[in-house]
Amino acid sequence: MAPQSDRCPYKEQGSGKYFQCPTPASTLMPPGGLSVPSEEEMEEGEEEEPSTARGECKRRPRGRGKARSPKVVQKIKKSRRIKANNRERNRMHNLNGALDALREVLPAFPEDAKLTKIETLRFAHNYIWALTEALRLAEPLVGGPAGELVGCLGPEQQYLDSGLSSPSPGASGSSWNSFSSPSSSSYTCTLSPGSPAPSEDMYFGQPENIYAPSKQQSDFLQNSSPFHEFI
DNA sequence: TAGGCCATCTGGTCCT
DNA sequence: AGGACCAGATGGCCTA
C-alpha cells in the first residue's frame, strides 16, 4: 500500500524538530474518509466465537456471542492498523528527536550542514572515541584525573570540566573552532600520532576501523581538530 | 536521471 | 492482548 503522505507533517519548519503527533487516527483519514469503528462497534465485534453447539453457550447470554460480519472484522483490523501506524510514527519521531539532540551536542560544521542519520551516528562514535583518547592521553601529563586538567588542552578544557552542564559544542558555530584551533597558544597537549589504539574491550576498537568518517567529517576534523591523528 | 536520504506503511516477532 | 521493536517495501524530494 502506498504511504498516505510523503513528508512528515509533524516536523517543525526551520528547526527540523519533531513534535508529538496529534490524535492520530483523525489526522490520517484518507480523503474518502475512513470510519473507525466506535467503541461500541468494537465491543460488538469482540473476540468471542459463537457457540457452535446449539444452546451450549453458557458463558454469555443469548445474542451476545454473535459472529462478526466481515465488514466489522475489516473495520477492526483497519482500526488496529491505524493505531499501530500512529504508534510507529511517534516512535520514529522520538528516534529522530533523539538524533537531533545528538546532532546538537556534536561539533557544528562551519557550513552548518546537517548530518544525515548515519553520519551523525558515525561521527558521534568517532567523536566520543577521540574525546576518550584525549582524556586518556592527557591524564599522565597532569598527574590527575582528567577533570582536573588545567590549561592543558586550551579552551576545550572548559568543555571537559563542565561536564553535562557544559554548553553544547555545537550550540554555536564558533565554539568548536575556537576550542580546537591548532593555532591556539594554549594548545599544548596534542595527541601523539603514534599513540596506540585503545583496547577493543574499552573502546570498541578505533572508530576509523569500524566507521569511516564521511569526507565532510574527515575534512573538517583534519583541518581543525586536535584529534586529527585519529581520523 | 540515477542514487541517496527520508518518512511512512506494513506485517512479523518479542515482550509485558 | 496490546504495545514496542524491527526490517522490508514504497514513493517523494533533492542533488550531482
User: What was the pLDDT predicted at A225?
Assistant: 44
Contacts 24+ apart (CB under 8 A), A78-85: A78/A34, A78/A36, A79/A25, A79/A36, A79/A37, A79/A42, A82/A24, A82/A25, A82/A28, A82/A34, A82/A36, A83/A24, A83/A25, A85/A24, A85/A28
Cβ < 7 Å from strand C, A residues 78-97:
83-84, 87-88, 91
Q: What is the DSSP letter of A197?
A: P
User: What was the pLDDT predicted at A179?
Assistant: 29
Query: What is the spatial distance between Cα A176 and Cα A110, in angstroms, rounded to a whole number?
Result: 9
Closest CA to A222 of A211, A209, A214, A231: A231
Query: What is the spatial distance between Cα A107 and Cα A169, in angstroms, rounded to a whole number?
Result: 5
Is this prediction's pTM over 0.85?
Answer: no
End-to-end CA distance of chain A: give it in Å, rounded: 44
A70-137: CATH class: few secondary structures
Q: Which nucleotide is nearest to A84 (CA to C1')?
A: C3
Tell if A112 CB is < 7 Å from nucleic strand C: no
Query: What is the spatial distance between Cα A76 and Cα A79, in angstroms, rounded to a whole number?
Result: 5
User: What was the pLDDT predicted at A104?
Assistant: 85
User: What was the pLDDT predicted at A129?
Assistant: 92
Could you give phi then psi for residue A61, rounded to 5 degrees? -60, 155
Q: Which nucleotide is nearest to A2 (CA to C1')?
A: C10
CB-to-strand B contacts below 7 angstroms: A 1, 3-11, 28, 81, 84-86, 88-89, 92-93, 96, 116-119
In order of A43, A128, A133, A230, the CA distances from A199 in angstroms are 59, 15, 11, 15
In Å, what is the separation between the CA of A5 and the C1' of C13? 13
In Å, what is the separation between the CA of A110 and the C1' of C15? 20
In Å, what is the separation between the CA of A89 and the C1' of C10? 16
Cβ < 7 Å from strand C, A residues 193-222:
none
Place of cell 592543558: A152
Domain extent listing, chain A: 70-137
CB atoms within 10 A of CB A109: 18
Contact A141, A152 (CB under 8 A): yes
In Å, what is the separation between the CA of A1 and the C1' of C12? 15
Contact A4, A78 (CB under 8 A): no
User: What was the pLDDT predicted at A137?
Assistant: 92
Those residues whose C-beta lies under 8 Å from the C-beta of residue A219, and which sit 6 or more positions away, are none
The helix/strand/coil state of A161 is: helix
The helix/strand/coil state of A18 is: strand
What would the pLDDT profile of A115-145 be if each residue is shown by its tens digit? 888 989 988 999 999 999 999 998 877 665 5
Which residues, given as ranges, of chain A have pLDDT below 70? 1-67, 109-112, 142-231
Q: Which nucleotide is nearest to A7 (CA to C1')?
A: B7
Nucleotides in chain C with any atom closer than 7 Å to protein CB: 1, 3-7, 9-13
In order of A82, A110, A139, the CA distances from A18 in angstroms are 20, 24, 40
User: What was the pLDDT predicted at A145?
Assistant: 52
